[in-house]
Structure formats: C-alpha cells, structure tokens
Structure 1
Amino acid sequence: MSRYYAEIGRYEQIAIDIANKIVRKELKEGDKLSGRSTLAGAYNVSPETVRRAVALLQSKGVVEALVGKGIIIRSRTAAERFLKDFETKRVIEEIQARIAQLTAERDRINEEIAHELSMLVNYTSKAITRMDMIDEIRIPEDSWVVGQTIESSGINAFHDTLIIAIEKNDDNIFSPDASTKLFANDLLIIASPPGARERIRKIIERTKTQE
C-alpha cells in the first residue's frame, strides 16, 4: 500500500477494498454484502466506520443500502469509475505535495544564493574600495550602448576591468556575464584602474548620434 493510501481515512480504505473486490468479480452485481457488524469485525473497525464506507460507495452508485434487505452490489462499472477517480485524486494530490516541497526547497536555495551573493558583493566592494578602484556609472537614455551586450559594448575589453553588478529598477544582477544586455538608467558598478575608468565612462556617455 502506498503512503497516500496509508494516510487516507480508514473508511475510504475499506470502500476501496470493497470496490476492488467488485471489479475483480469476487463480489458480483446483485450480491448482498455482509452486515455492518460482520464487516466491522472483518476490517477490525467500528460499525460507524463501515457505515461511512458504505455511504461513500452508495453516493457513487456502487452499492445500495436497502432497509430490510441489507447492502446490495449495484454496479461493477461504477466501482471501476470510483477507483479511477480515486487514483486520479491520489496522483493530483501527490503532485501538489511534491510541487509544494520543491517550491519550499527552491525558496530556501534562493535565500542561500541571495545571502552568498550579498556577502560576495560586500567583501568585494570593501576590498576594491580600499584600492580606490570602484566606480558607479549610470547609462544615459541616449547612450549608444543601450540594447548592446556587455561584450558588444566593449566595456569589458579593458585590462583589469570588472563589472561587479548592474543595479536596475526592478532587479539587481550580480557578476553579470558578457551576454547581459544593457538598458537605459542601468547603474553599473565597475572595478577598474583610474585610466580605464575614464575611457569606459566616455564609451557609455557617447550618444547614438556620435557613433
């Protein structure tokens, strides 16, 4: 028995067992089930638990409880449909549980990544600031580098130049790669020697009409 079936209600387990017996033709249409007390003893449960199992099967058209006649098997087809519906429900709930588990794991990993990146930027900024090599340059709206990648703009072509991060309106990119696109108003956090820094600023501030 799967973990799912072990966790559902006992009355549901009994209903599934009876439905399986009907599908396997151990119980046939028109047959009469044992009385509730007998079933309660067979499944080692209370008569109330059996009553709930029978009520569930009756609501699905599998059996019918008739006063004075007992519990009658009504439909093997309904029993098959009941089992299929229950299996579908099981699969859906297991997928939902797995998604919830993976989402929680993803959130935990994202938090760890954000923490490590924050530490990286913090320590890198401190180290570079001590060497007086860090600068912030905002990309003007009319800059020719708007829409270019870091590589195609040539910003990273200078020796000892590193773009530490790009601060955007709705996001921050740490350690961007060469294929990262540049947009107007992006704030570039750049580490570079003083000479290269001025040349980078001139590249970024060049307008499209000056290309």
Structure 2
Amino acid sequence: MNTSASQATYKVIALDLARKIVNGEYPIGTKISGRSLLSSQYDVSPETIRRAISLLKAENIVDVSRGKEIVVTSPERCSLFLEQQQSKSSTISLYRKLDKTFKKKQAIDQELKNTLDDVITYLNYVKYSDLLNPVDITISPNSHIIGKSIKEIDFWQHTQATIVAVIQNNIPIKSPNPDLVLKAGDSLVVIGPGNLVETVSNFINPPQQTEHHYLRKAFSLISTLLLLTEESAALTMVDWGELIGSSYHLTTTLLS
C-alpha cells in the first residue's frame, strides 16, 4: 500500500471508529479491540491502525495504556471531531468543485479566444483580399526600368505595390533579390491595393509621347516667353527662325 493510500485509509478507519463511539457501540470507558484484531477487521496493517488510533488520541477521544489497551474517554469530543471532519470534508468538496468549475471556465475562455482569433484572421483576409490577387505585367522594350535593379526603380514608392516574383526567360524567380537587374520582356508579378494593372503599367511602361507633342509644347513655351518679353517687338524674322530652330533641335535631341 503506498503512502497516500495509507494516509487516506487510516483517516477513514478513525472516522469509522468515531461514528461507532457516537452511536453508542463503544460507550465511555469501553475497551476497543487491540491493534491486531482491528488490523484483521479492517484488513490493513497494524501501522495503519496505529495511525488511526493516534489521531483519535490526539483529539482526546481515546486513551492508550502502556499495555496498548484502547479505551474510549470522551464521546463528546468524538462528536466535535466528526463535525470538524464533516466541515473539512465539505470545504474540500467545495474547493474541488470550485477548482473544476474554474478549469471549465479556463477552457471556455481559451475556446472563446481561439474563436475571436479566427474571426480577426477572417476579417483581415476579407479586408486585404484585394492584396492577395497578384497580377503580372510585362516590361516593354522601351521601358525606362530596363537595365536597372529592383531597388533602383523605387517600385513601392511609385506604385504602393510589392513585387513577389519576376519571370525572366520563362523562369519564375520568387521573392527576387533587390539587386536583380530587369530586362525587356521580363514579367513582374505584383500584389497591392487599387487598380494594379493601370498603376504598375503606367509606371513601368508609361505612354510614349510623339515628337509632335513635344514640339507643340516647346513652341508653346517659346511663344509664351516671347509675348511676356518687352523686347519681343524688336525681334526680326531671322531671330524668330533661330529660336524655333533651336527649340526644334533641343526637342529632337531629348527624343533621341
């Protein structure tokens, strides 16, 4: 028999003997059977009986003579002992019930937390679902980002989008290195908010202005400056021709 079981057994035996005393089976002055007989009756070791009797003696319920006779000395103390044990038992029972209830509450709290985490995760997924739909845009032959690395083009600053992959020579490169140099025909796989196709396309493949468009702007600028110049009336046709020729040369140089 292990120690914890022995402890529980000797207390049970002490309580049983106490009940018999209160019920009158062992009146005051009565000699209770010796340890060997009690050991046989309760089918326990003599040591367990000794501990049970010691508990009753400590409560002044019985007395043990040198001859090891066990004599009942106070049924009143026995009644008090039983009441205390009953109260203690009730307290322990309530404590166990409280502990069990608390553990149930902990389990419910954890389940509630897990459910809330799932709800938050789902809401975040819904909120950012547009970010989870990647698009790919091919770099045109005349794009200004050709020959530049990813970190050089400040991609996120211009588009608020993120490059998650680059397809070069039909080979996808996931999470590309910022030093990767971009080439014509590469496809950028990107995620981000808003109209990704339009935003990214306008950045990496901006609409090309025609030569006439730049010439019109140059002529318009020169004309405006001349009109605002006090000496514009003194300009000869030759001066006008030189100005126009210079603006044309400048514009075509920029376009080349």
Structure possessing the higher relative contact order (Cα contacts under 8 Å, 6 or more residues apart): 1
Q: Which residue of 2 aligns with 1:122?
A: 121
Distance 1:105 1:69, change over 3 A: closer
Check whether the contact 2:6–2:48 (CA below 8 A) recurs between aligned residues.
Answer: no
User: Is residue 34 of structure 2 the alignment partner of residue 39 of structure 1?
Assistant: no
The whole-number CA distance in structure 2 between the counterparts of 1:84 and 1:40 is 26
Give 2:73's aligned amino acid.
R
Q: Which residue of 1 aligns with 2:90?
A: 91
Matches within 5 A, 1:1-211: 9-68=8-67, 70-130=69-129
Shift of 1:80: 0.7
Bigger drift between 9-18 and 66-75 goes to: 66-75
Q: Give CA-to-partner distance per residue, 1:124-163, whole Å, 9 cap, x none.
A: 232134479xxxxxxxxxxxxxxxxxxxxxxxxxxxxxxx
Letter in 1 for 2:127: I
Once residues 34 and 23 of structure 1 are traced to their aligned partners in structure 2, the CA distance between those partners, rounded to angstroms, is 17
Give structure 1 stretches of 5+ with no counterpart.
Answer: 1-5, 133-211
Q: AA paired with 1:52? A: R
Per-residue Cα deviation, 1:84-117 (whole angstroms, up to 9, x for no partner): 1111111111111111111111111111111111
**Greater gyration radius:** 2
Distance 1:76 1:38, change over 3 A: same
- Higher helix proportion, which one? 2
Q: Using structure 1 for the length normalisation, give the TM-score.
A: 0.56
Contact 2:60 2:74 in 1 (8 A): yes
Q: How big is the alpha-carbon RMSD for the aligned residues of Structure 1 and Structure 2?
A: 2.1
Instruction: Give the Cα–Cα distance (whole angstroms) in 1 for the partners of residues 31 and 38 of structure 2.
Output: 12
**Structure 1 residues 52 and 8: CA distance shift in structure 2, 3 A:** closer
Going from structure 1 to structure 2, the CA distance change for 1:7 and 1:97 (only over 3 Å counts) comes to farther
> Percent identical across equivalent pairs?
31
Q: Where does the alignment leave 5 or more consecutive residues of structure 2 unmatched?
A: 132-256
Change (3 A) 1:119 1:46: same
Count of aligned residue pairs for this structure pair: 127
